[in-house]
Structure 1
Amino acid sequence: MSSAQDVEAMTKADTAPYVTFSLAEETYAIDVLQVQEVLKVTEIAPVPGVPDYILGIINLRGNVVTVIDARRRMGLDDRESDEASRIVIIDVDNQNVGILVDSVSEVVRISPDSVEPAPEVGNDDSSRFIQGVTSTEEGLTILVDLNRLLSDDEWAQLREL
């Protein structure tokens, strides 16, 4: 192996893959190991009596999957779904959950050393879901902590249904 290949192998070993997506003109990333698949937006059946960030459920190959609106969950302005919108199916505690995002971009490798702690922005609702931020050539990428995104009391009750 040449030294360039050695460096590339070490670099890959020191990074982790993340799926990037956009919400309100910002770039976010989640651990690719938690992503099951990415779907075009399909019909979502509403469920009465759930928090407003839960859009409803979809049928994914015979399995019922709850879909949440990432914009609402993170306290961002609503936006109509369009051709670029996607539902990212993630696995959290062996349960599939769909997250509606504005668009999915690519898989990137992020070094843990490049991740800065989440900035303190007062009591901003979305900041509690941020694991950290990293700089890329395209700008800042915000790493989302899926466990926090799906860990409040309302969500715990829904997972028991």
Structure 2
Amino acid sequence: MGLESAAEHLKKLQSEHMIGQEANDAKRGNQEEVVYHQWATFKVDNELYGVDVIQVKEVLRYSEITPVPGADYFILGIINLRGNVVTVIDTRQMFGLSRHEPDDDTRIIVVEYNEQEVVGLVVDSVDEVINLPQQDIDRAPNATGEETAKRFVQGVCYYNNILIILLDLLKMLQSITPMEVSDEF
């Protein structure tokens, strides 16, 4: 009789364990997996912006930039970065803001444009790299009047009660890159 009661007790424990396991599985099924994305943040005209951290190659102190005659108004010039020529863009000019004299906080963020090309973005200051939950990123509002800047905005997000404007670097840099001229006329 002891063996039969032990078998009954084992069945009871197994069924309780299965019920508990099903409850845990149901809890996990109801939870969405949160996907985080890293953004490098910086300031331009007291606004906080972010770019995909994967595209950032390095951050440099502001240094002498060689002007390029005939370049667009938003291109400050070029710099030599370990033997590579890097085009440097003034983000303030690109966003339609007034010029700003470089100071100790001014930085050049070197970003990868495509697999062969890097571009430098002059910003007022660099902030930090942050992780933002993908679900917290909202689409860009259509409230801005500046069409140029609006085209570059991928989304917006609040982080520590501060609005961060997330830029789409690919769109931003494609807008200033000359179109390839085809041989067909």
Q: Shorter-chain-normalised TM-score: which range?
A: 0.7 to 0.9
User: 156, 173, 183: which is aligned to 1:133?
Assistant: 156
Instruction: Write out per-residue CA displacement over residues 37-67 of structure 1, whole angstroms, 9 at most, x where no aligned residue.
Output: 0000111000011110000000000000000
Residue-pair matches, total? 148
* Greater per-residue helix proportion: 2
- For residues 110-149 of structure 1, the C-alpha deviation after alignment (integer angstroms, 9 at most, x for no partner) is 1111111111035512111100100111410000010111
Secondary structure at the aligned position of 1:147 is classed as helix
SS in 2 for 1:106: strand
- Deviations along 1:1-51, one digit per CA (max 9) or x if unpaired, are xxxxxxxxxx99710111000001010000000000000011100001111
Uncovered stretches (5+) of structure 1, i.e. residues with no partner: 1-10
RMSD: 2.0
Query: Please, which runs of 5 or more residues in structure 2 have no aligned partner?
Result: 1-31, 181-185
Conserved? CA contact 2:74–2:91, under 8 Å: yes
Separation of aligned partners in 1, 2:82 and 2:33:
34
* Normalised TM-score (structure 1): 0.86
Letter in 1 for 2:69: P
**Whole-angstrom CA distance in 2 between matches of 1:99 and 1:24:** 14
Letter in 2 for 1:57: I
Measure, in 1, the Cα distance between the counterparts of 2:131 and 2:44.
20
Larger radius of gyration between Structure 1 and Structure 2: 2
Q: Is the 8 A contact 1:74 1:129 kept in 2?
A: no
Matches within 5 A, 1:2-41: 14-41=35-62
- How far apart are 1:76 and its partner, in Å? 1.5
Alpha-carbon distance in structure 2 between the residues aligned to 1:12 and 1:87: 36
Q: Structure 1: which 4+ aligned runs deviate by more than 3 Å? A: none
Q: C-alpha separation between the residues in 2 aligned to 1:73 and 1:151?
A: 13
Name which of 158, 165, 170 aligns with 1:142: 165
Percent sequence identity over matched residues? 41
